[in-house]
């Protein structure tokens, strides 16, 4: 299979793979899927029942918790934004206007020859930012662990003194992003952790970067026999296909309960510390095809986008389970806070809302 999957520059993600391509990639991974099923048969019932028990206990204490101020490191750190190298230096000015301190930047392993460009881009935001570097996988590095170790060491070295948090992988439960199974990811993470342990002890590693409400994948990455540990757990917790964050999935899982269930899984695992980052969230905007990452059916107006963003942040903050939420992203016509079509910068209502939150 090709090492570099086709990339959709409009929505900043790989194109959906053809069915025959997915079938060819999955060939030989049958045991991996059996491990996924077996792990969930053992742990899912226990974790779900534990979640229900803790949920009822939490509801009983809700009146007292409501009077407490949300406990987060700092309000300015809680609200994060994703920024992209290819969106240019205009982002420096926009970030300063917003007052955002937590930034997430993707670094692509397949683009390792341009690592200096990423480093200079990050430096341009100044020294007062809390930087999360997301290391984006590709098939070549998934399959070649020697190459992976070499290039990850390069990334760690280049960002020394600039960033000490690195998210390993992105949307790992989507084959179009490169991983065929959770076993591939666990081996991938183990290689990177070994590099960190040998040469870069002060670096924090964040995983397992599951996208959407697909916690059976999270369970496999957090309950296994691999010699790994996550310093923090990342979730790309989108709820946009349900409309409002208060809408439910499977009858009971609104955004709040999705956070609570994830927290139960994280607290029950010996593979991670009890720290959660939500590293991607947004809603697709109506009338922005081909920039919108979904069909028009899931798209919302800029007014609803603003409302849902406020609700999303509010629920995550009040849950006291989430340390940071990174909105995806600053500049993106189909789903971001700024529309840059036709070479002009147009700030949406949500941009000014976030600015107001950060500058009360």
| 7-38 confidence digits (pLDDT tens) | 999 999 999 999 999 999 999 999 999 999 99
- For the purposes of burial, counting CB atoms within 10 Å of the CB of 61, is it exposed (0-12), middle (13-18) or buried (19 or more)? exposed
Looking at residue 233, the DSSP 8-state letter turns out to be E
| Mean pLDDT on 168-188 | 98
pLDDT value at residue 1? 41
- For 227-243, b/e burial (b = at least 16 CB within 10 A) is ebebbbbbbbbbbbebe
CA 56 to chain centre: 28
- Give tens-digit pLDDT for 44-71: 999 999 999 998 887 776 666 555 555 5
pLDDT value at residue 106? 98
CATH of 15-358, one of 3.20.20.70, 3.40.1160.10, 3.20.20.80, 3.50.50.60: 3.20.20.80
What is the pairing mode between strands 79-83 and 324-327?
A: parallel
Looking at residue 17, the DSSP 8-state letter turns out to be P
pTM for the whole structure: 0.95
Cis peptide before 5 (omega within 30 of 0): no
| Mean pLDDT on 315-340 | 97
Tokens found for residue 249: 């999935």
3-state secondary structure 42-102: HHHHHHHHHHHHHHHHHHHHHHHHHCCCCCCCCHHHHEEEEECHHHCCHHHHHHHHHCCCE
351: helix, coil or strand? helix
Residue-by-residue DSSP string for 291-322? SSSS-GGG-B-HHHHHHHHHHHHHHHHHHT--
Residue 128 scores a pLDDT above 90:
yes
């Amino acid at each position: 299979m090709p090492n570099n999957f086709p990339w959709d520059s409009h929505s900043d993600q790989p194109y959906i793979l053809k069915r025959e391509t997915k079938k060819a990639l999955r060939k030989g991974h049958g045991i991996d899927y059996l491990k996924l099923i077996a792990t969930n048969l053992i742990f899912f019932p226990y974790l779900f029942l534990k979640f229900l028990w803790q949920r009822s206990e939490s509801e009983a204490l809700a009146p007292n918790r409501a009077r407490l101020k949300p406990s987060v490191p700092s309000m300015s750190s809680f609200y994060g934004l994703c920024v992209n190298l290819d969106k240019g230096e205009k982002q420096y000015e926009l970030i300063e206007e917003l007052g955002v301190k937590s930034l997430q930047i993707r670094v692509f392993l397949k683009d390792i020859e341009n690592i200096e460009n990423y480093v200079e881009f990050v430096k341009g935001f100044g020294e007062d930012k809390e930087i999360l570097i997301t290391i984006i996988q590709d098939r070549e590095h998934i399959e070649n662990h020697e190459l992976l170790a070499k290039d990850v060491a390069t990334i760690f070295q280049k960002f020394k003194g600039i960033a000490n948090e690195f998210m390993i992988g992105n949307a790992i439960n989507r084959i179009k992003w490169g991983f065929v199974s959770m076993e591939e990811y666990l081996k991938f993470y183990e290689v990177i952790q070994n590099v960190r342990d040998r040469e870069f002890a002060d670096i924090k590693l964040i995983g397992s970067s599951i996208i959407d409400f697909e916690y059976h994948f999270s369970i496999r990455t957090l309950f296994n026999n691999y010699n790994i540990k996550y310093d923090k757990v990342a979730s790309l917790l989108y709820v946009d296909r349900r409309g409002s964050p208060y809408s439910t999935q499977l009858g009971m899982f609104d955004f709040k309960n999705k956070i609570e269930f994830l927290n139960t899984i994280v607290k029950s695992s010996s593979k991670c510390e009890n720290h959660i980052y939500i590293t991607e969230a947004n809603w697709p905007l109506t009338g922005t095809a081909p920039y919108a990452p979904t069909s028009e059916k899931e798209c919302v107006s800029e007014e609803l986008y603003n409302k849902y963003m406020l609700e999303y942040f509010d629920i995550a903050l009040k849950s006291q389970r989430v340390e940071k939420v990174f909105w995806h992203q600053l500049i993106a016509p189909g789903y971001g806070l700024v529309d840059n079509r036709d070479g002009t910068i147009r700030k949406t209502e949500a941009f000014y809302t976030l600015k107001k939150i950060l500058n009360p």
